Every structure is written in C-alpha cells, then in structure tokens.
Structure 1
C-alpha cells in the first residue's frame, strides 16, 4: 500500500469511491449533484489537500485534510477492512499534532473507527455546519505531548 498526493487524473476514481458511500447510504440525503461533487474534488486536489492510497496498482481510498482539519476519509467499498483508512490516517497523524473532524451522528461505523484510532468526542452540533443538515459530532485526536 502506497500513499501519494492526489493528481487531477485521479478525479474519476475519487468520485467513484465517494459515490460508493454517499449513494449507498440510505440515511444520507443527496444534497449535491455529481457535478458539484466533481467540482469540490477538483478544488481540493488542486489545493494539495488530498492523499490517495493504492492497492494492487489502483487508487483504493483517499483522505482530504487542510492542516488539522480532516474533511473526508473514504475507502472503496470493495477495499474496506484492509487497513487502508488506518494507513491514510496514520500518515495524517504523523504530520499533525492534532486532528479534528466532524462526523455525522448517524454514521456509527465512522464514529467507531475514529474512536478506535484515538479520537474523542469534543462537541455536538445540530448539523447547522454540514451540507446535509444532520446532527454531527466533533471528534479530536491529540498526539503525544499535545494538551487536552
């Protein structure tokens, strides 16, 4: 498994991975069009915020991070459970003393994953800050030597 900075030619594969989750999650309202998703992915790739992970020569997952804010972490549905998300997250942890992310309250699998990776709940919101308007939870990871 290798990680690398995403390039614009990765955009179609990143979209497939993103849609593998968003289009298959019944509780998640579809508030953006495919075109909106593509534009957003194109922007974060250009800004240098996206890391990809490859498995068997293909991009199998990606992480979007700006400083200490983790915006997204997705793994292709057929590649989950193989440590790809942990690998991407470990790389982000190695580069930042603190990581923060908002996770939708209804996403029990993601909440459990982040808790296993050392993230703790720091705050809750009624969902006013996310596109879907769903209640969410701020989770924070602090590296060694970082204050509470």
Structure 2
C-alpha cells in the first residue's frame, strides 16, 4: 500500500468519517442534503456496535472507510482527495477475501460507484424506484459471488 494502511475504526475516527460522508453529499448535485453534520456523526458512531468498520489512514488523515455486517456492505466512502488511489478497492477486497457472497446497495445515479463495483465483479440483482429510500432516489442492489 502506498503510504496508507487499513485498521479497525475507533472513537477517534467518528468526526473524520462523518465529514467524508457529508462532503460527498454536498459535492454530489443529485443527492439531497437530509442530514446535518451532527446526524452524520451519530450514524458513524453507531456503526461499530452493529458492523465491522475498517478505516484507511495515512498518519492522522482518514482517507476512507467501509462498514459491513458479514457480507452486506452498509457503507463505503473514500474522501474526495483520495479517490483513485485503490483505497476503495482495498477496503472492498478485505470483504471479498472472507465472504462467499457480498452485497450492497447504491444509487442508480451514482455512476462512478456503479462503474467501480462492476469492474470489481459485482452483478446487478435488483433495481427500485427509490420509494423505499430516505432520499427518494432509485437504487440498485449489487451482488458479488465467489466463482466456483
């Protein structure tokens, strides 16, 4: 890895990880802003109680994170200045290496994420009209399976 490492999240990561989420929402023109920075912090702080959370770090900087429960990825976010460095791939491959099936949801409008997941071998399993999401945006469920 080029100057960064991945480790379990701890309490000191909460603000930085929440900021990564909030920054992504604010830089994404199709994404409605529904949560305050404090809401994002509450969300991130609760994740380790129910999910395994792994953080990519370079020194004191948090570059990205992945939260999962078994083979279900709840969140994968990489900071804007750290995208394209292989961080998302490294975080995702930690899950792929240990789970026979990995699934996740992303928004249909998130073309960058869709391209990334398809490149990593995920297949589309389901699309929705967004009526079941807080944001009201159409989403897509993607699944990766070990080849037998």
Gaps of 5+ in 1: none
After TM superposition, list the pairs within 5 Å mapping 1:22-33 onto structure 2: 22-33=25-36
TM-score, normalising length: structure 1: 0.92
- In the alignment, is residue 64 of structure 1 matched against residue 67 of structure 2? yes
CA distance, structure 1, for counterparts of residue 71 and residue 38 of structure 2: 27
Residues 66 and 91 in structure 2, CA contact (< 8 A), matched pair in contact too: yes
Gaps of 5+ in 2: none
Shift of 1:87: 0.3
Q: Moved runs in structure 1, 4+ residues, more than 2 A?
A: 45-49, 55-58
Number of aligned residue pairs: give it: 145
Aligned to 1:133: 136
Among 141, 144, 147, the alignment partner of 1:144 is 147
Once the two structures are superposed, residues 30-78 of structure 1 have per-residue CA deviations (whole angstroms, 9 ceiling, x without a partner) of: 1222222111110003334211012355221100111111111111101
CA RMSD of aligned residues (A): 1.3
CA distance, structure 1, for counterparts of residue 145 and residue 127 of structure 2: 18
Residues 102 and 144 in structure 2, CA contact (< 8 A), matched pair in contact too: yes
Aligned to 2:44: 41
Aligned to 1:54: 57
**Structure 2 CA distance for partners of 1:120 and 1:133, relative to 1, 3 Å:** same
TM-score, normalising length: structure 2: 0.92
